[in-house]
Amino acid sequence: MCGIVGYVGAGAGMDVVLEGLRRLEYRGYDSAGVAVLSDDGVLQVERRAGKLANLEKVLGDRPLAGSLAIGHTRWATHGPPTDRNAHPQVDCGNRVAVVHNGTIENFEALVAGLEARGHERRSDTDTEVVAHLVEERYDGDLAAAVRGVCRDLEGSFVLVVAHADEPDLVIGARRNLPLVIGLGEGENFLGSDVTAFIGHTREARIVDQDQVVELRRGGVTVTDLDGTVVDGESFHVDWDTAAAEKGGYEFFMLKEIQEQPDAVRDTIGGRLTAEGLLHLDELAMSDEDIRGIEQVVIIACGSSYHSGLVGRYAIERWCRLPVHVEMASEFRYRDPVVGRNTLVVAISQSGETADTLEALRHARAQKAWVLAVTNTVGSTVSRESDAALYTRSGPEVAVASTKAVIAQLAAMYLVGLYLAQVRGTRDPDEVRAHLRDLQSIPDLVTEVLSRMEPVRALAGELADAPRVLFLGRHVGYPMALEGALKLKELAYISAEGFPAGEIKHGPIALIEEGTPVVVLAARHALSAKLVNNVQEVRARGARTIVIATDGDESVTPYADNIIRIPDTKSLLTPLLTIVPMQVLSAAVAMAKGLDVDQPRNLAKSVTVE
Ligand code: F6R
């Protein structure tokens, strides 16, 4: 949460930083701000509550000149989202500017000390504390001052600091949250992720735990908190600028929904052997270790959790292993039974979700083997796991996840098939056949996308619904949860997903005349029972919107609207049913005039517990 950019070079610092903030705005949009150091050593700070556009408007009229700049887009934790709590925060003399992502846990004690020493607080933020502490410690060596301050801080933070007396130096520091260096020619960058500087350089280096970066025009030095220089490897970012831009769509999400065939194709691609079987070297487990697994535990949050639920069906079916799927935020509190023979799969698009990270740390402490399924190379989740299986959906900018989720689903099928292949629970021919089915999915997703006009047409009718229910059985159930989550977060409609068989145990009481009920009735063995459930809700006045497989007429008499998807194996249907629900939610949000990419109160990359 919160997006951070730092720049020192020859270009217009304000423009570079604003461009980075535009790409990082998905991380939070409660307020935004920049500090630009002028050639005559004045730190000019501008910040505004609300979305980045508010700040851009002010800066459009009054641009700030200078080639060293830092910037921030905020998801509020300490203090409401007002101008005065926006970052950068400054010290008493306006000579130190700080942007911050994270939470400083001992900030009250630090505030008490600062106030006793005569500092005047001008915000409610924990961040301002850092500016005053740097002010106290600075004696001509900004890096040393920041290192000293970091030693005094408890909690998690990424800090980027500029000082009026340092025209060629931006300092970055991190603990528990991500910070990446962009390496340019005569200019260097800091960002919460690589999209912050992707328009300028694709050479990057990850900053590690408790490291401090000295960013100058001529180069970059990284030290630990004692000031000892540490080496690190740079890497090349495959994504190009186009991947992080809207490409003519009104919202990133609309583009990302269209990119889903590629997200699935790229996630499967390159992982098949010449014999049509799987190689997942990334798993980094010996075949003997894989055969020794006694249970699988999947930990994730939100939509990633729904991918995990689908993964359970696949792994249990193909591998005959017990699988537990846990919401990462609850995992630790149950004292879960995991050990050396447990494979823990941590699913996280961002790879930075605090709940997932804490859960995987807990699992590792119990000696479990942890596999990260993540979209973000070098993310904390991937680095703290034993192994990482990367989904390859490219950068996802819209806050609500679409293409990353479909890629997670594909990855979970791969995990299931690989375990089955190595453990011998499915013979190679069957594994090959499942892989062929999986390979046919990208074209089927393209087909589904081509049929979405009637789904968009439903949006106006659903826009005023006070509530919408989603029902599914088997793998349709996690997708019902996913459909409900998407509609909630995008269109602010109270939506709930239920196992279709469960509604008669209570939720059916919610149904009134006209209540929209979306039923995931894609082909599978339980569809006869689903037909009964559709009849039950319709008899009580529900308006039924049914997602059904081509040629399946069993549900037609009971459907007010039918959304057709092509046929595929029942276990793989989530890869197709997910698409109309995404399109529907985005369309309802648009019909209500809402911001599809940045729903209220949310942020991508949830780095607080
Ligand atoms: C919903 C959504 C969230 C995320 C959740 C986990 O559309 O995007 O529910 O799935 O916050 O995020 P990651 O996958 O980054 O750990």
pTM of whole model > 0.75? Answer: yes
Please check whether residue 301 lies inside any domain of the structure. yes
Tell me the CA distances in angstroms from 609 to 1, 85, 570, one per residue in order: 11, 21, 36
Please state the rounded mean pLDDT for residues 238-255: 84
Q: Is 301 in the pocket of ligand 1 (CB under 6 A)?
A: yes
Query: Where is average pLDDT lowest: 214-218, 456-460, 520-524, 579-583?
Result: 520-524
**What is the whole-number distance in angstroms between the Cα of residue 430 and the centre of ligand 1?**
33
**Full domain range(s) for residue 545:** 449-591
155 and 15 part of one domain:
yes
Cα radius of gyration rounded to whole Å, the chain: 25
If DSSP codes are grouped into helix, strand and coil, which group holds residue 259? coil
| Cα–Cα distance measured from residue 89 to residue 285, given in angstroms and rounded to the nearest whole number | 47
* CB contact at 8 A, 390 and 282: yes
**What is the whole-number distance in angstroms between the Cα of residue 46 and the centre of ligand 1?**
31
Residues of 392-409 as b/e, b for ≥16 C-beta within 10 angstroms? Answer: bbbbbbbbbbbbbbbbbb
Q: Whose CA is nearest to atom 6 of ligand 1?
A: 301
What sign for the dihedral angle of Cα 383, 267, 191, 75? Answer: negative
**What is the whole-number distance in angstroms between the Cα of residue 349 and the centre of ligand 1?**
7
234 and 286 part of one domain:
no
468 and 407 part of one domain:
no
Please identify, by atom number, the ligand 1 atom nearest to the C-alpha of residue 486.
7
First to last CA, the chain: 11
Most informative mutation of 26, 251, 256, 301 for ligand 1 (most atoms within 8 A of CB): 301
Please check whether residue 598 lies inside any domain of the structure. no
Domain count, the chain: 3
Using the predicted structure, report yes or no on whether residue 544 has a pLDDT greater than 80.
yes
Q: Is 349 in the pocket of ligand 1 (CB under 6 A)?
A: yes
Q: Which phi and psi angles does 101 have, rounded to 5°?
A: -120, 130
Please check whether residue 332 lies inside any domain of the structure. yes
Task: Examine the fold and report which residue of 377, 406, 439 is the final residue of a domain before the chain moves on.
Answer: 439
Q: Is 380 in the pocket of ligand 1 (CB under 6 A)?
A: no
Please identify, by atom number, the ligand 1 atom nearest to the C-alpha of residue 381.
16
DSSP-assigned letter for residue 278: B
372 and 398 part of one domain:
yes
| Residue 79: predicted pLDDT | 78
**What is the whole-number distance in angstroms between the Cα of residue 353 and the centre of ligand 1?**
8
Most informative mutation of 304, 326, 360 for ligand 1 (most atoms within 8 A of CB): 304
| Residue 408: predicted pLDDT | 98
Single-letter code of the amino acid located at 470? F
Instruction: Provide the CATH number for the domain around residue 213.
Output: 3.60.20.10
Catalytic residue among 255, 403, 488, 604: 604
> Tokens representing 112?
């008490």
**What is the whole-number distance in angstroms between the Cα of residue 305 and the centre of ligand 1?**
8
Using the predicted structure, report yes or no on whether residue 502 has a pLDDT greater than 80.
yes
Task: Examine the fold and report which residue of 244, 272, 290 is the final residue of a domain before the chain moves on.
Answer: 244
Locate all alpha helices (DSSP H) within 269-402, ordered by sequence: 287-292, 302-319, 328-331, 354-365, 380-384
Please check whether residue 280 lies inside any domain of the structure. yes
Q: Could you give the dihedral angle defined by the CA atoms of residues 309, 310, 316 and 319, in that order, rounded to the nearest 10 degrees?
A: -130
**What is the whole-number distance in angstroms between the Cα of residue 372 and the centre of ligand 1?**
14
Q: How many beta carbons lie within 10 A of that of residue 431, not counting itself?
A: 21
Cis omega (within 30 of 0) on the bond before 580? no
391 and 285 part of one domain:
yes
458 and 408 part of one domain:
no
Please state the rounded mean pLDDT for residues 405-433: 97
Q: Whose CA is nearest to atom 16 of ligand 1?
A: 348
| Cα–Cα distance measured from residue 115 to residue 109, given in angstroms and rounded to the nearest whole number | 10
Please check whether residue 608 lies inside any domain of the structure. no
Using the predicted structure, report yes or no on whether residue 525 has a pLDDT greater than 70.
no
- Look-up: residue for tokens 């490897």? 233
Q: Is 359 in the pocket of ligand 1 (CB under 6 A)?
A: no
pLDDT digit string, tens, across residues 334-365 = 888 999 999 999 999 999 999 999 999 999 99
Most informative mutation of 353, 356, 602 for ligand 1 (most atoms within 8 A of CB): 353
Q: Please, which pLDDT band fits residue 379 given cuts at 50, 70 and 90?
A: confident
Angle, vertex CA 438, rays to CA 435 and CA 440, nearest 5: 115
Using the predicted structure, report yes or no on whether residue 167 has a pLDDT greater than 60.
yes
Using the predicted structure, report yes or no on whether residue 241 has a pLDDT greater than 80.
no
Catalytic residue among 2, 150, 301, 319: 2
| Residue 524: predicted pLDDT | 64
Task: Examine the fold and report which residue of 404, 439, 474 is the final residue of a domain before the chain moves on.
Answer: 439
pLDDT digit string, tens, across residues 42-54 = 999 999 999 999 9
Using the predicted structure, report yes or no on whether residue 425 has a pLDDT greater than 80.
yes
361 and 466 part of one domain:
no
Please identify, by atom number, the ligand 1 atom nearest to the C-alpha of residue 400.
7
Q: Chain-centre distance of CA 523, in angstroms?
A: 31
Q: Is 304 in the pocket of ligand 1 (CB under 6 A)?
A: yes
Q: Is 582 in the pocket of ligand 1 (CB under 6 A)?
A: no
208 and 286 part of one domain:
no
If DSSP codes are grouped into helix, strand and coil, which group holds residue 40? coil
* CB contact at 8 A, 313 and 474: yes
**What is the whole-number distance in angstroms between the Cα of residue 37 and the centre of ligand 1?**
36
Instruction: Provide the CATH number for the domain around residue 383.
Output: 3.40.50.10490
Please identify, by atom number, the ligand 1 atom nearest to the C-alpha of residue 402.
7
Q: What is the 3-state secondary structure (H, E, C) of 200-222?
A: CCCEEEECCCCEEEEEECCEEEE
Please check whether residue 67 lies inside any domain of the structure. yes
**Which of 25-34, 293-302, 372-381, 551-560 has the highest mean predicted lDDT (pLDDT)?**
293-302
Q: Give the pairing type, strands 323-327 and 96-104.
A: unpaired
Has 604 been annotated as catalytic? yes
Q: How many beta carbons lie within 10 A of that of residue 229, not counting itself?
A: 9
Has 504 been annotated as catalytic? no
429 and 479 part of one domain:
no
Please check whether residue 326 lies inside any domain of the structure. yes
326 and 201 part of one domain:
no
425 and 462 part of one domain:
no
Q: Could you give the dihedral angle defined by the CA atoms of residues 114, 99, 105 and 85, in that order, rounded to the nearest 10 degrees?
A: 70
Q: Is 353 in the pocket of ligand 1 (CB under 6 A)?
A: yes
Top pLDDT among 332 and 97 is at 97
Closest CA to 570 of 538, 530, 534: 530
Please check whether residue 173 lies inside any domain of the structure. yes
Most informative mutation of 177, 303, 604 for ligand 1 (most atoms within 8 A of CB): 303
| Cα–Cα distance measured from residue 519 to residue 469, given in angstroms and rounded to the nearest whole number | 8
366 and 418 part of one domain:
yes
If DSSP codes are grouped into helix, strand and coil, which group holds residue 41? coil
**What is the whole-number distance in angstroms between the Cα of residue 302 and the centre of ligand 1?**
5
Please state the rounded mean pLDDT for residues 386-401: 92
